[in-house]
Structure 1
């Protein structure tokens, strides 16, 4: 725990001193999960991507000093949510959703739950990339909703090979994610 906290403290110092390497790392670490988080509001990937890119530009140009890595992370997610709501506010097509969201804003607890879900999802995506290439492809096809038979046909392998690869992948996810695996399996229907 101390090592992670110390790493986070060092990292926030680099961000506050506007070190390009730190911003690249933040971008690589959070971009996908922030886009996914933004899509929960705007439902269009290209809009969510624009909002997140604008956020990173603003963070880079800002003179704000962040107190901790946790507050910085919360700032990123809150900023994406606020930017998405502002976008929706300016688009009358989404009027009903906006008014409901503004009348029933998320509590801090709900926002923290969403942030935790996004962090678990981000960790899942990292671990997915660690899988051997064939198992990674099979599991990505599975996540797209393809049946074992369809995956086997697409990859020209046996259905048993698909099943075995999926089982090995799930075993690896359980090992790497620990208790968080159950949250991921619930979120993704794995």
Structure 2
């Protein structure tokens, strides 16, 4: 006696996957096989499942191009292989990048630059806190790359007023941080 599932499998073999019911039957029949195939490429099961599911989505979008179970299975095996190879290449690139970044952050030069950058930032922010409250607001927004117009809108000021606050604040900061500027030139 032929079961309903067997009828669907025979239908898929003859005509391909045409509707959601066909896809459900095909999925139930082959999903585990495709995941097992993907795992043979040294992927963990979660990565393999993700790739197989992506291929199912891709297949569904172009299902009308396939008319037999052989072309469907060939599509799945080839697509899974290609996606795995792309995934592995991407992982290799990420690994090389992480390795180069690790070498960089372990270098003495990087550590020194980071320390200097943090110390300078701390000193600048300390000096900014000595400005008037309005100048502080204007300078901090300016450091966030806000335009004069954006600062004016945020603080309910006119653009000329923002420019005046910036001018006064920068003049005071230049005077206060002159020795720092000289120190940075030496480094």
The two structures have a TM-score, normalised by structure 2, of 0.43
The two structures have a TM-score, normalised by structure 1, of 0.42
Higher relative contact order, structure no. (Cα contacts within 8 Å, ≥ 6 residues apart): 1
